[in-house]
Homo-oligomer: A and B are copies of this chain.
């Protein structure tokens, strides 16, 4: 079985475009060089050197376009354009941080598209073309800190602090596997600022789909109308340290055996609800992790996701029933620490309809989709009316170096985001 696609990805190619579109693809090609991996992806986890480098490069890009660059107290990076003194902002963007050995598009595309959309609108409002177009809000391009949550948990950290869902001090004190705190990481790359960031009136984000539905349905723009519900747990399996060679099997209290049963259980539960439930364990640490010691402790993160809250509840009950059975079977104790959960929540229907009209006006094929993954916009939509857009992602591959979206889809998404952002800035959702 081959586990990697051996075909190199096409490089972003500005020569196929002209004017601003070519400049956008050229900037995206530059962005792909930060933390580039030999396998054609990127690795720039939150607060890493590569993350710092791309943030400083992005600051220069924003300043050159006349935007003021500020970092807030959790390292969110904003490029501010004041069009209406004192008015609140349309906050548009995504995140540049990545998973380890990740793809080029996840998050990064959305930040750069937001900047270029804002650059175009800045030009519009500056020029004669603005005669009939009057901004009512300011624009804040945003690069949220630590959306990925690979180095520092939880994910969506920057937007969670911004929206008041996560305590600032808790976030800053969070440490990575080497004991480095968020505060230290942000200071080391010069990205720890002050204050709460700009006040939002509306928000918008564009992202790759990370699923196959748009590719299957042949549509260019996905208008996200809701997210899947999710329950995320940290489990700690407690066993007892002993010698793997000499301890008789019936005396063993093997934390790794119990943890492995949990991993299998998660999959078995998903298999009961084909297509309707996603479960996974991506993170698991063994202590003391010595070849000749029965593990005394295993920490793991397990999540359950569904678009149907009843299925999620049923799956959750099954999981907790199985936890008790595993405790007996493996002679371990399983401690559950709730991570975070979210219900199925809709994006505001006015925003969905605005986006659908914009796509129609631009002649872009579109359809409503749901997001299975969490995004910063999942947080923002609980604060202000928010528009979430997708472009297709080849074969749904994501969190993988072979993640790929075609240049023409990137550019179509940029046009779409520019249209939506302009409408938001001009007050199209003022009644919502």
Contacts and interface: CB of A to CB of B under 8 A. Distances in A.
Contact of A254 (B212, B238, B280): B280
Given A3-B333, A398-B246, A399-B243, A294 B280 contact: yes
Given A333-B1, A333-B3, A291 B286 contact: no
A388 to B, nearest CB: 14
Interface residues of A, number: 82
B296 A290 contact: no
A314 interface: no
A397 B401 CA distance: 46
Nearest to A240: B3
A373 B245 contact: yes
Contacts of A288: 99-101, 150
A350 interface: no
Contacts of A291: 149-150, 153, 155, 232, 282-283, 301, 303
Nearest to A330: B267
A271 B249 contact: yes
Contacts of A245: 210, 228, 230, 278, 280, 303, 305, 372-374
A150 to B, nearest CB: 4
Q: DSSP majority for the A interface?
A: loop
Nearest to A295: B282
A260 interface: yes
A248 to B, nearest CB: 7
A428 interface: no
Given A153-B291, A289-B282, A291-B282, A249 B228 contact: no
Given A150-B290, A232-B291, A241-B401, 12 more contacts: A99-B241, A99-B292, A150-B288, A150-B291, A210-B243, A230-B245, A244-B399, A246-B373, A249-B279, A256-B263, A257-B267, A294-B399
A270 B256 contact: no
A333 B155 CA distance: 30
A210 to B, nearest CB: 4
Interface of A: 1, 3-4, 99-101, 148-150, 153, 155, 209-212, 228, 230, 232, 238-249, 251-254, 256-257, 259-261, 263-264, 267, 270-271, 274-275, 278-296, 301, 303, 305, 327, 331-333, 371-374, 396-401
A162 to B, nearest CB: 20
A242 B293 contact: no
Contacts of A399: 241-244, 290, 292-294
Q: Which residue, of A153, A253, A286, has the highest number of chain B Cβ atoms within 10 A?
A: A286
Contacts of A211: 246-248
A290 B100 contact: yes
Contacts of A248: 211-212, 275, 278, 396
Nearest to A289: B283
Contact of A260 (B212, B242, B263, B287): B263
A325 to B, nearest CB: 14
A186 to B, nearest CB: 20
A280 to B, nearest CB: 4
B253 A260 contact: no
A282 B240 contact: no
Contacts of A256: 263, 281-282, 284
A280 B293 CA distance: 9
> Closest 6 interchain pairs by CB?
A150-B290, A260-B260, A244-B280, A100-B288, A260-B263, A245-B373
